[in-house]
Amino acid sequence: MRGTGSRIARRFEALKAEGRAGFVTFITAGDPNAETSAAILKGLPAAGADIIELGMPFTDPMADGPAIQHASQRALAAGQTMDRTLAMVRDFRKADGDTPIVLMGYYNPIYIRGAERFSRQAAEAGVDGLIVVDLPPEEDAELRGPAAAVGIDLVRLTAPTSDEKRLPVLAAGASGFIYHVSVAGVTGAKSAAEGSVAADVARIRRFSGLPVAVGFGIRTPDQAASVARVADAAVVGSAIVERIAAAVKGGESPPPDMLARSVLGFVSELAAGVRGARTVPA
Amino acid sequence: MTQSSVEKPNSYRALPDDRGHFGIYGGRFVAETLMPLILEVEAAWDAARADPAFQAELDDFLKHYVGRPSPLYHAARLTEHLGGAKIYFKRDELNHTGAHKINNTMGQILLARRMGKKRIIAETGAGQHGVATATVCARFGMPCVVYMGRTDIERQAPNVFRMKLLGAEVVPVDSGSATLKDAMNEALRDWVSNVEDTFYIIGTVAGPHPYPAMVRDFQSVIGNEVREQIMEAEGRLPDSLCACIGGGSNAMGLFHPFLDEASVRIWAVEAAGLGLDSGRHAASLTAGRPGVLHGNRTYLLQDEEGQITEAHSISAGLDYPGIGPEHAWLRDAGRVEYVSATDDEALEAFQLCSRLEGIIPALEPAHALAHVIRAAPELPRDHLLVMNMCGRGDKDVFTVADALGVTL
């Protein structure tokens, strides 16, 4: 690690200094295959991603809508493993020492590897944070401890159902940033109204001083801009993953560079939306 | 992954703890959006079970609508044929809708009404839980959506039609392997998208706390009745119990009231499919290892990467890669003996029971029966063995005909 604090903390400090919100992108590791996925990952920072969420594919992604379900299936069918996902990060880190990488997924593939062993390997590969969708605060101590020991943030999620009673539970022990799920639903579903996102973010800020990233249902540069006006970062996942799905429809995957260019072009449009959203910090 | 060794507890009936854990198993592994809702279900369930009016209402429906108590029947011809233990069947296949599932759906829909919920969702594999849920939804005039894997819809057409007759919407699930585990994923996705008005009726002793304990308590009517009935028939407790396990709800219902009776030997029978060595089975306790899926930590069929693998059984109701977390704990504690029976053994038992007793069992309890057929001849004639006949076989006649090479 360079400088002080984690890559995630430094990135949010830099964004604050720039007076803009961050742009967080999600792709599933190994989708549609290892080579293409690595090419997309490498190009994300230049396309405007400030933080990268990298999905760990799982057979039973019960919080995800069809787009990310299919991405998981494509990756697993192409032979993606946890070792390969970690190798992707290690490879990415050779050229990029600054862009935070947050692994996102479900607990079983981590649990089966062992929380300590997984955390150690992830830290060695250059992972900065973890988002584990099915690990609420009541159950996350067994991963939070080992992750913290190697400098990895276990990012807590909040939801529209997180009320004043629930938020203190979520804020206690949170680190890195808060990931706010802006709609009650699965990834890639309906979009939240701007007003409700603003109110949710304001409520979260009463209980946590951490940056708040907002995700779920953000599909266009305009929607990303709208979220960027009220939150510290906007997350886009399904809409990016759908570009990959469309390109491989029919079975044949285009050459990795060609597919990566097309996906990264869309990422640039989204990034422009976020960067143009405001000129002063929220 | 090391298996937790469980020290012998003072009671096998004291769990879960207040966070829903049975040793290392159970818990609440769900998306944060659902957590406030699940805490609400738990609070409502705690209040309901302490309320005599709730129990009285449930008892009334169990008696007049479900048809409880179900008989405890001495299977005399089977006993004579096997030449050993005295065999009793707990006749839960005589319940309304033909299986034990309605004991639980009736309890949960009364809880849903008490909570003011307006819409019911459920997952189903063989369709028995879907039918039992659609039935109580019809009875109480509540909209019902049942998620069912496309593969299961094709092999359980009669139950799909029954659910539709009862007014339920059956939603085909194409994701993943298009079977029960995927139907459960899809039900969880619906729930997370409709948190305000929807109650999820889970069909077995699995899922996030409080479901494993709540479903067990609703199904314990089976074991509680057996206790009274065997005392009346024999003047003493049974020497052994036997039940099949998919998710494990009929077994838990029979076993739980007897767990602290040290003299009662308990067998649970998993589906060994084409054989444990074939890799095509549903024996998560015998051949799986601990993991996290569908809201709880328990034994799962999975690969070395922690990806969930396909279960296989001729019985769609046992065709699930997990198991209720309390069974996982009872296995490690050594209180219950977990054994298995193959598709072929279940088919043999299915036919034998039909011919000898005039009872066509469902393929699920046919697995329990297959173990009874193995065990009973080795036991003395004064050994009292109670097996849970948890479902009837009408739904399975096409599957069995197909397996026996008979064209209907």
pLDDT tens per residue, range B130-144: 999 999 999 999 999
Q: Which helix (H) or strand (E) segment is A222 a member of?
A: helix A221-228
- At A4, is the pLDDT very low, low, confident or very high (cuts 50, 70, 90)? low
Residue A20 lies in a domain: yes
What phi, psi does B233 have (nearest 5°)? Answer: -80, -40
Contacts of A82 (CB under 8 A, 6+ apart): A56, A109, A113, A118, B305, B306
Residue A281 lies in a domain: no
Q: Do domains B21-60+101-215 and B69-99+220-403 have the same CATH topology?
A: yes
What is the nearest CA distance from B89 to chain A, expressed in angstroms?
Answer: 37
Could you tell me what percent of chain A has a pLDDT over 70?
97
Residue A280 lies in a domain: no
Buried b (16+ CB within 10 A) or exposed e, A39-67: bbbbbbbebbbbbbbbbbbbbbbbbbbbb
Size of interface A-B (CB pairs under 8 A): 119
Query: Which CATH number does the domain housing residue A88 bear?
Result: 3.20.20.70
The pLDDT value recorded for residue A1 is 43
More confident residue, B177 or B358: B358
Query: Hey, what CATH class is B69-99+220-403 in?
Result: alpha beta
CA-based nearest residue in chain A for residue B31: A134
Chain A residue numbers touching B28 (CB-CB < 8 A)? 136, 138-139
Could you tell me what percent of chain B has a pLDDT over 90?
92
| B133 token code pair | 């849920």
**CATH for B21-60+101-215, among 2.60.130.10, 1.10.3720.10, 3.40.50.1100, 1.10.357.10?**
3.40.50.1100
Number of domains in chain A: 1
**How many Å apart are CA B213 and CA B256, to the nearest integer?**
11
Would residue A53 show up in a list of annotated catalytic residues for this protein?
Answer: yes
More confident residue, A276 or A278: A276
User: Residue A119 is part of which domain span?
Assistant: 7-275
Residue A2 has pLDDT above 50, yes or no: no
Angle between helices A82-95 and A115-125 (to 10 degrees): 30
What is the nearest CA distance from B251 to chain A, expressed in angstroms?
Answer: 26
Interface list for chain A against chain B, based on CB atoms closer than 8 Å: 58-63, 65-66, 69, 73, 76, 81-82, 106-114, 133-136, 138-139, 156-163, 165-166, 170, 181, 184-186, 189
Which is nearest to B395 in space by CA: B174, B208, B160?
A: B160
Domain boundaries of chain B, sorted by first residue: 21-60+101-215, 69-99+220-403
**How many Å apart are CA A131 and CA A121, to the nearest integer?**
16
Which is nearest to B255 in space by CA: B286, B222, B230, B232?
A: B222
B276-331 residue pLDDT tens: 999 999 999 999 999 999 999 999 999 999 999 999 999 988 989 999 999 999 99
What is the nearest CA distance from B32 to chain A, expressed in angstroms?
Answer: 6
